[in-house]
Amino acid sequence: MFYDALKNEHGLKHDPFKALVSPRPVGWVSTLSKNGISNLAPYSFFTALAEKPAYVMFSASGSKDTRRNAEETGEFVCSVATYDLRKKMNLTAARLPYDESEFDYAGLTPAASHFVKPPRVAESPAALECRYWKTVELPSATPDAKPHAVIIGLVVGIHIEDAYISEGIVVTDLMRPIARLGYRDYAWIDADNIFTMVSPALQKKT
Ligand SMILES: Cc1cc2nc3c(=O)[nH]c(=O)nc-3n(C[C@H](O)[C@H](O)[C@H](O)COP(=O)(O)O)c2cc1C
């Protein structure tokens, strides 16, 4: 099949787009309001953009507290969402009033960050402390569509639980990070689904 993506005329029961761009890591983004109230929400339009220095982005559809806080305070933290934390992660997607914290709502512990004020999720095995860089507004397909904006941050500090480091390597499958697929589906990384391959660019010429 083929369809016009701008008209979104796929003729299927549900929009297939997100099922085709999967798995997407879940950035579990914490921020503080100007008044110091913590906010936490999952974003699967989330990815790393660069390394040395590292940049990450998440994309907010419509008006989101996370975007507002990141823009107003200049800081955010992305904790790793894991299989063990999946239910609490899901709870943090609730649309709470601006002055209520999803940390309290989901029963999660805020842990102090090193370089930025927003806390990371203490129960998560790793977190990226970010300094907000810029917002890129994406043009909408139609005037009535929800606006989307990409929020980009420079990673200034990285927390990794020591238990997940072995012989100098982060053991990703021990963390069991989760990823979003299409529809209501998720996946998690485990040892059985990891394979290793060397890029030709890194192979020695014979
Ligand atoms: C796994 C998952 C991924 C999500 N990804 C996004 C996303 O990429 N962009 C977005 O705008 N909302 C996303 N949402 C919905 C937000 O988490 C939800 O709207 C939340 O209430 C936003 O909170 P905030 O207003 O405190 O930022 C996602 C929800 C879940 C459960």
The pLDDT of residue 206 is: 65
Identify the residue with better confidence: 76 or 144.
76
Render pLDDT for 149-203 as a digit per residue (tens, 0 to 9).
999 999 999 999 999 999 999 999 999 999 999 999 999 999 999 999 999 998 8
The helix/strand/coil state of 20 is helix
What's the gap in Å between 88 CA and the centre of ligand 1? 13
Whole-angstrom CA distances from 44 to 90, 100, 115, 162, 182 are: 12, 22, 24, 26, 11
* Cis ω for the linkage preceding 16 (within 30 of 0): no
Which of 64, 65, 95 is the pocket-test mutation for ligand 1 (most atoms within 8 Å of CB)? 64
Q: 61, 141 in Cβ contact below 8 A?
A: no
Region of 74 (left: φ > 0; alpha: ψ -120 to 50; beta: rest) is: left
- The domain segmentation of the chain, as residue ranges, is 25-190
Query: Residue 144 above 90 pLDDT?
Result: no
Q: 152, 57 in Cβ contact below 8 A?
A: yes
If you average pLDDT over every residue of the chain, what do you get?
A: 96
What's the gap in Å between 196 CA and the centre of ligand 1? 32
Render pLDDT for 21-69 as a digit per residue (tens, 0 to 9).
999 999 999 999 999 999 999 999 999 999 999 999 999 999 999 999 9
Q: Determine whether the shortest distance from the Cβ of 41 to ligand 1 is under 6 A.
A: yes
Q: What's the rounded Cα separation, in Å, for the pair 63 and 146?
A: 9
Query: Residue 76 above 70 pLDDT?
Result: yes
What is the pTM for the complete model shown? 0.97
What residue type is 144 in one-letter code?
A: D
Q: What's the rounded Cα separation, in Å, for the pair 27 and 152?
A: 12
What residue type is 120 in one-letter code?
A: R
Contact partners, residue 95, CB within 8 Å, separation at least 6:
none
The pLDDT of residue 142 is: 83
The pLDDT of residue 47 is: 98
The pLDDT of residue 104 is: 97
Q: Determine whether the shortest distance from the Cβ of 64 to ligand 1 is under 6 A.
A: yes
CA 179 to chain CA centroid, nearest Å: 9
Q: Determine whether the shortest distance from the Cβ of 65 to ligand 1 is under 6 A.
A: yes
Q: How sure is the predictor about 11, in pLDDT bands with cuts at 50, 70 and 90? A: very high
Structure tokens at 20: 């085709």
Query: Residue 126 above 90 pLDDT?
Result: yes
Q: What's the rounded Cα separation, in Å, for the pair 179 and 168?
A: 25
Identify the residue with better confidence: 146 or 95.
95
Q: Determine whether the shortest distance from the Cβ of 47 to ligand 1 is under 6 A.
A: no
Closest residue by Cα to atom 20, ligand 1, is 93
CATH T-level fold of 25-190: Pnp Oxidase; Chain A (2.30.110)
How many Cα atoms sit within 13 Å of 199 on the Cβ side? Answer: 2
